[in-house]
Amino acid sequence: MKVKLPFFESTYDGMFVPQLSETIGRLISEIERAFSKIRIDDRIIIGGGTAILKHLSTTATWDPGNLIAAAQTSTTVTLTGAALGDEVTCSFSLDLQLLQLTGYVSSANTVTVILQNGTAGPIDLASGTLRVSVWQH
């Protein structure tokens, strides 16, 4: 007997169903095993590592302008709750063209973002969206 399964273009005989069932069973076991290593309550702990107590994030429009070789520019972003020593990640909505983007909490509620040109020539980025995230442990 051939069975038509939704989302499949062809039909499969009865031999396929046990194989599919076994594959789905293994997949469910792997998902359960992976999620057993994540604990979520008032914090997140992944694989027994350091607890993440809070994640803060915001965006701002930024036009870093033209950066000549070896130059850098910076901007500050207000992120309520950010504290000295917090872990910071930054991203920009445009191709950075080998520029290096870094950030750090420079004072309470303020993240300083630095864009550095380590190339041999000038790079002029257009205005884009800067995302700043802080992870508190």
pLDDT bin (cut points 50, 70, 90) of residue 22 is confident
Q: Do 62 and 110 have their domain in common?
A: yes
Nearest CA-CA partner of 121 in 72, 66, 65, 68: 68
- Tens of pLDDT, residue by residue over 79-97, are 999 999 999 999 999 999 9
Q: Do 86 and 121 have their domain in common?
A: yes
128 domain residue, yes or no: yes
Q: Do 75 and 24 have their domain in common?
A: no
43 domain residue, yes or no: no
Please give the Cα distance from 105 to 84 (Å, whole number). 5
88 domain residue, yes or no: yes
126 domain residue, yes or no: yes
pTM of structure: 0.71
Domain, as residue range, for 74: 54-136
Please give the Cα distance from 56 to 88 (Å, whole number). 10
Average confidence (pLDDT) over 7-36: 67
What pLDDT sits at residue 127?
98
Average confidence (pLDDT) over 45-70: 92
What pLDDT sits at residue 42?
75
Q: Do 78 and 11 have their domain in common?
A: no
Instruction: With beta carbons less than 8 A apart as the criterion, state whether 60 and 133 touch.
Output: no
41 domain residue, yes or no: no
What pLDDT sits at residue 39?
65
Give yes or no for residue 72 having a pLDDT over 60: yes
pLDDT bin (cut points 50, 70, 90) of residue 12 is low
Q: Name the domain count of the chain.
A: 2
- Please measure the distance between the N-terminal and C-terminal CA atoms of the chain and give it in whole angstroms: 58
pLDDT bin (cut points 50, 70, 90) of residue 67 is very high
Q: Do 13 and 58 have their domain in common?
A: no
Q: Do 15 and 73 have their domain in common?
A: no
Question: How much of the chain, in percent, has pLDDT values that exceed 90?
Answer: 61
42 domain residue, yes or no: no
H or E stretch including 72?
A: strand 72-78
48 domain residue, yes or no: no
What pLDDT sits at residue 46?
78
Please give the Cα distance from 24 to 38 (Å, whole number). 22
